Structure 1
Amino acid sequence: MSFADDHTTHIINALTSINDPASRARAAGDMLNSIPALQRALREARQEAVLQMRAAGASHADVATELGITRSRAQGIAEGKSTAARKKATE
């Protein structure tokens, strides 16, 4: 199980343990509303990690191999380009 899977399971278990349906629905709504901010923070954390790898001498190809992504995706992450932004531009 991955880091994300483990933490997601923990969050879902905590949510489903709320007995009162209204409280559970509010908590789920709060969590859903926080997703955009979470995604931004995760993108920034990933970009910072990639930039640290690059500063340590890794090429975009090295980063790509380490992360299991394409070289162009590694470069895009380093430059702060997101898949969401690319999708919006093509719509």
Structure 2
Amino acid sequence: MTQPPSPFENLKNLAEQDNPTTRAKDVGRVLEAIPALQHWLREVRQGAVVEMRAEGMSHAEVGKELGLSRARAQQIAEGRTTGKRAEAGKAAPGSGTPS
């Protein structure tokens, strides 16, 4: 079995469970929690970027430090999303696509 990507090595124990039913259920619970984890991680990152700005760094300096563009650093600080998450937020009401 392959190694999970860093920093998720500690989830490897899920794949090593002997009982396939337990393994499938436990992995299913983890998969269902991924959107909440992603939301939390985005909030943590946004907080760090806001803190960097409060310490006097410009968006350009934050971007350079994090390997991002100035514009992306500003978007993160403002809590704006890009790509698929942003497009999902633009979906018409009632379309079934979460915002």
Q: TM-score range by the shorter chain?
A: 0.7 to 0.9
Partner Cα separation in structure 1 for residue 71 and residue 64 of structure 2: 11
Partner of 1:33: 32
Partner Cα separation in structure 1 for residue 45 and residue 58 of structure 2: 16
1:9 CA displacement = 2.0
CA-based RMSD of the aligned residues comes to 1.7
Tell me which of the two structures has the higher relative contact order, counting C-alpha pairs closer than 8 angstroms and 6 or more residues apart.
1
Moved over 6 A (4+): none
Letter in 2 for 1:16: A
TM-score (structure 2 length as normaliser): 0.79
Alignment of 1:1-91 (within 5 A): 5-11=5-11, 13-83=12-82, 84-88=84-88, 89=90
Task: Summarize deviations over 1:21-51 as a string: whole Å, max 9, x none.
Answer: 0000001100000001101100000000000
Larger radius of gyration: 2
Partner Cα separation in structure 2 for residue 68 and residue 25 of structure 1: 37
Q: Which runs of 5+ in 2 are unaligned?
A: 92-99
